Structure 1
Amino acid sequence: MTDVKAEPTPSGRGAQLAHTGLRHGWTTGACATAATTAAYTALLTGDFPDPVTITLPKGQTPAFALAAEELRDGGRTAMAAIVKDAGDDPDVTHGALIRVTVRALPPGSGVVFRAGPGVGTVTRPGLPLAVGEPAVNPVPRQMMRDHVAEVAARHGGAGDVEIEVSVDHGEEIARSTWNPRLGILGGISILGTTGIVVPYSCSAWIDSIRRGVDVARAAGRTHVAGCTGSTSEKVAVAVHGLPEDALLDMGDFAGAVLKYVRRHPVDRLTVAGGFAKLSKLAAGHLDLHSARSQVDKGFLGELARLGGADAELTAAVAAANTGLEALTLCAARGVPLGDLVARAARDEALAVLRGAPVSVDVICIDRAGTIVGRAEPRGPAGR
């Protein structure tokens, strides 16, 4: 029997965070765990709990409404599905339908995971899963195992099951993620360490940066590039000839790249990005998003002064409307503000690296992708 249901009830929706007014949401791992719990319960009892309650790693006990349920093969297979609610986070998987199909296995088989349609498969080393494994991360796997064991204990089951996780339109959704670059093919990953999505924490992006470093190191890459966007990425490739698996989609998270590379060094890191964003790094900001850091024209004026600008130009730069205007003013007077920003950004990056054995160079570009500033490689202690 198949029962496709309407919108989830409020119990399956993210709760409001009192200190921000924003709703948190649930990770794909939490949704898959809830679907697994419902499906395995139905496999043992014939009934799907709806809503289904799970326990998250930090003890929270959210309830999830089922969007679909089905018993097949004479009751030997059960499927439950949950719509992912990311709360107020701009998550590409928000609204995705997470399906889990549970099948009984022979005694002693344990819990076996399978990638269904829309869930990726690992094809490159360097990730926390072996090549060939479904892209269901370690914490969600453990959550599902724990809940299978609890359901088995409650209803007299053996706990030997195959868990197939699938995501409707997951392969299409994955094109908006890092998965293809990381060598995860065929769909999205089932993620989450706490089960909760905190709005605008961008934890998935930061995790992808870390996995990108891991994959590059596993592939033997000694030179990687953290780029703020696709234009700067193209420039980094043109300048250094880097392969795809050496490219990190840094976005605004310069700090995430630098802190992870500090703990997991590569020989050389290129930081490439727009002049305005990298001027923020030069001024000591590690989050380059416009909502969390601003271009400091006074800082640019001081850099210009140190680069030979007279008092009039220094004042004009400090009063400029935008970083681009400051750059243009200096270019007209022969002051290499782009190079000055690149060098300051490189030095700030080296400070964050805290002596890690990594050489850093920086490339600043304008909106058209023209290089407007360079800083040559420098490592710890000026090497």
Structure 2
Amino acid sequence: MTDWQGSERKPKGPLKKGWTTGACATAAATAAYQALLTGDFPDPVSITLPRGQEPSFPLKRVELSGRQATASVIKDAGDDPDVTHRAEIVVTVALENGNGKNQGVRFHAGEGVGTVTRPGLALAVGEPAINPGPRAMIEAVIEGLTRKYGNAQGGSVDVTIAIPGGEKLAEKTLNGRLGIEGGLSILGTTGVVIPYSCSSWIHSIHRGIDVARASGHGHLAAATGRTSESAVQKILGLEDTALIDMGDFAGGLLKYLRKNPVEKLTLAGGPGKIAKLAQGAMDLHSSKSRVDMGALADMLSSLGAKPKTVEAVKDATTAGEALEAARAEGLALGDTIARQAREVALATLAGDTEVEVMIFEREGNLIGYGG
């Protein structure tokens, strides 16, 4: 799951990379645990990421008290429009005495970090939303520092991660839909934030499907945007967990569903996006695919449109213009586009999933159906 919701337009020119919440938490945990073992906080603190990068992080605040130490780092997401950019990632590390059984590293959700409440994610229900990647990085750091400095206490290590204000920030993410309640997730497989990463969005699509299937939903609705999502939910009455924010990534959705099928899939979007899908595009972004107006003109011709209308559509610039021209003649171009998009989706899924396609205009009205 990512904390970028994709509403911002990508700026031109080279983009600065950033660090994930997982990398920041690892840095803060490193500083706190080293202070417990040595009495000193390294500032700045350096860590080694899974792919070998060695970033350094200045500490925002530190506190050492007995068997507990706290350190924090301000997250820098680079040029990515991440809701956690400039958030404070606070890690408290506490040592238990060695009298009881050593349970290794135990993770806890502090203020602003969520808890998993639904099955389908990589974490069990009831676990803090600290993903496996960051957990592994923190565990490796603690193991390495213990070897280097020794842990005289010899007990378990409790790691609590907090993000002040995280519960409010989480409202801007899909965490609630995924069943992560109470705050944000600590994320990051590589530790590096790639600005406007397509892979992050596709990953969130996959996790949404996983949670929906684990929740028992046999019917999913995937939409290209908020207008079509709201409209299709109103028609179908599906729960939020059965809705998938597909965005432009029809291919990422359909190919994952081919391997992880459901009984029924409803695809919803505006005329331009669905027209691109109907023409075989799997990435519906304007930089990756364009509507073939000639193909739409041919569709209109096959429906019996006047030659003048057909020629006008060839010179049009949007699918919406083509639909307006069809509407003026009482022709169901929207249904034709939706049916063709359905055939493309069925061919990509290559299975038994039932598919229907709905096209909505900006006001949320249904203007095309194929099913």
TM-score of the superposed pair, with normalisation by structure 2: 0.91
Q: Which AA in structure 1 matches 2:284? A: L
**Deviation sequence 1:107-156 (CA, Å, 0-9, x none):** 41200000000000011111111111000011111111111111111111
Instruction: Compute the displacement of 1:289 (Å).
Output: 2.7
**Residue 22 in structure 1 maps to residue 15 in structure 2:** yes
Structure 2 CA distance for aligned equivalents of residues 106 and 98 of structure 1:
26
Q: Which AA in structure 1 matches 2:64? A: L
Aligned to 1:371: 366
**Residue 253 in structure 1 maps to residue 249 in structure 2:** yes
**Residue 357 in structure 1 maps to residue 352 in structure 2:** yes
Structure 1 CA distance for aligned equivalents of residues 183 and 169 of structure 2:
7
**Residue 267 in structure 1 maps to residue 263 in structure 2:** yes
1:65 to 58, 63, 86: 58
Q: Which AA in structure 1 matches 2:192? A: I
- Aligned residue for 2:124, secondary structure, equals coil
Q: 2:277 touches 2:284 (CA, 8 Å); kept in 1?
A: yes
Structure 1 CA distance for aligned equivalents of residues 220 and 321 of structure 2:
31
**Residue 146 in structure 1 maps to residue 137 in structure 2:** no
Q: 2:178 touches 2:211 (CA, 8 Å); kept in 1?
A: yes
- Aligned residue for 2:72, secondary structure, equals strand
Instruction: Compute the displacement of 1:310 (Å).
Output: 4.3
Aligned to 1:168: 164
**Deviation sequence 1:152-193 (CA, Å, 0-9, x none):** 111112573101011121001100101111110000001111
Aligned to 2:323: 327
Structure 1: tracts of 5 or more residues without a match: 1-19, 377-383
Structure 1 CA distance for aligned equivalents of residues 263 and 128 of structure 2:
31
Aligned to 1:304: 300
Aligned to 1:99: 90
Q: Map residues 74-223 of structure 1 onto 2, 5 A cutoff.
A: 74=66, 76-107=67-98, 108-157=102-151, 158=154, 160-223=156-219
Q: 2:97 touches 2:155 (CA, 8 Å); kept in 1?
A: no
Q: 1:299 to 1:106 in 2, by over 3 A?
A: farther
Alignment coverage as a number of residue pairs: 355
Point out which structure has higher relative CO (alpha carbons under 8 A, 6+ apart).
2
RMSD: 1.8
Structure 1 CA distance for aligned equivalents of residues 14 and 271 of structure 2:
34
**Deviation sequence 1:196-253 (CA, Å, 0-9, x none):** 1111114443222211111111111110000122221222223222122111122222
Q: Which AA in structure 2 matches 1:236? A: V
Aligned to 1:40: 33
Structure 2: tracts of 5 or more residues without a match: 1-12
Q: Which AA in structure 2 matches 1:100? A: V
Larger mean CA deviation between 221-230 and 281-290 belongs to: 281-290
Aligned to 2:221: 225
**Deviation sequence 1:276-329 (CA, Å, 0-9, x none):** 221122222222233433333223223323333343322211211322211100
Q: 2:223 touches 2:267 (CA, 8 Å); kept in 1?
A: yes
Q: 2:129 touches 2:184 (CA, 8 Å); kept in 1?
A: yes
Q: 1:55 touches 1:61 (CA, 8 Å); kept in 2?
A: yes
- Aligned residue for 1:47, secondary structure, equals coil
Q: 2:68 touches 2:94 (CA, 8 Å); kept in 1?
A: yes
Aligned to 1:9: none
Structure 1 CA distance for aligned equivalents of residues 310 and 92 of structure 2:
66
Q: Which AA in structure 2 matches 1:50? A: D
Q: 2:105 touches 2:157 (CA, 8 Å); kept in 1?
A: yes
**Residue 279 in structure 1 maps to residue 270 in structure 2:** no
Structure 2 CA distance for aligned equivalents of residues 334 and 159 of structure 1:
76
Q: Which AA in structure 1 matches 2:343? A: D
Structure 1 CA distance for aligned equivalents of residues 126 and 286 of structure 2:
40
